[in-house]
Structure 1
Amino acid sequence: MAKIMVVDDTAFMRHMLKSILTENGHEVVAEASNGAEAVVNYKHSRPDLVTMDITMPEIDGIEGLRQIMEFDPKAKVIMCSAMGQQAMVLEAIKNGAKDFIVKPFQNERVIEAVNKVLSL
């Protein structure tokens, strides 16, 4: 069972991801609604994995990812994006993201990405 932090500015999306993850045996140890919160919560909860939305207020997912990777170069982060954000996904991969999932979420794809990244 992995400890996971879910980061998304939409409560509904966090709830959806949390349900998928907990139904598959993982524990959601922290949540955040923007990149700034994500960095603080990461340092506090030290999750095994982070799911990070790209488009968020205050600090977006790319900058949140950068700051987490700076703090912990071994961090495992999966980016979440809507269709049509390929350029941002590539930017995230360059900055250390291990994988990405596209919204709307498909349970199988979420779990496949999580399991793949946890095994790295």
Structure 2
Amino acid sequence: MGKRILVVDDAAFMRMMIKNIVTKSGYEVVGEAENGKQAVEKYAELKPDIVTMDITMPDMDGIEAVKAIKAIDPQASIVMVSAMGQQAMVMDAIQAGARDFIVKPFQQERLLQAIERVLARSRR
């Protein structure tokens, strides 16, 4: 069975793009969220294998959402996907518990590599 993914981004087109990339590669998208608050609720409900998380979103940003998800499940696998390439944001995301970071716009291969790498690490 394919690994289950929760896609979190406030832009519908970005969620659709990520969804298309991962489903073509055999993953199952079990849910979507357009802000951090929804992401935390969906994570608790769906228990996905991995989450792709935007940083800049309304209601609750991605870094706060990562912290909240990690409080629910310290083993959560989260890949940050953001246009914010600033070093401080990357460091905040990693310190909050994200396992990898991708800067938009990204290549399809880069997204899949990050997901594979994070999932491989979580299997150990």
Using structure 1 for the length normalisation, give the TM-score.
0.97
Tell me the distance in 1 between the aligned counterparts of 2:20 and 2:120. 21
Tell me the distance in 2 between the aligned counterparts of 1:84 and 1:108. 18
Note the C-alpha offset of 1:81: 1.3
Q: Give the aligned CA root-mean-square deviation in angstroms.
A: 0.8
Tell me the distance in 1 between the aligned counterparts of 2:85 and 2:46. 32
Tell me the distance in 2 between the aligned counterparts of 1:90 and 1:56. 18
Which has the larger displacement, 85-94 or 55-64?
Answer: 85-94
Question: Percent sequence identity over matched residues?
Answer: 57
Tell me the distance in 2 between the aligned counterparts of 1:14 and 1:26. 14
Equivalent AA in structure 2 for residue 90 of structure 1: M
Residue matched to 1:41:
42
Equivalent AA in structure 2 for residue 11 of structure 1: A
Q: What is the SS of the residue equivalent to 1:100?
A: strand
| Contact 2:85–2:103, Cα closer than 8 Å, also in 1 | no
Residue matched to 1:25:
26
Note the C-alpha offset of 1:86: 2.2
Whether 1:80 and 2:108 are equivalent positions in the alignment is no
Note the C-alpha offset of 1:89: 1.3
Q: Gapped runs of 5+ residues in structure 1?
A: none
Q: Given the superposition, is the C-alpha separation of residues 83 and 36 from structure 1 closer, same or farther in structure 2, using an over 3 Å criterion?
A: closer
Residue matched to 1:97:
98
Moved segments of 4+, more than 2 Å: 83-86
Tell me the distance in 2 between the aligned counterparts of 1:74 and 1:54. 20
Q: What is the SS of the residue equivalent to 2:81?
A: strand
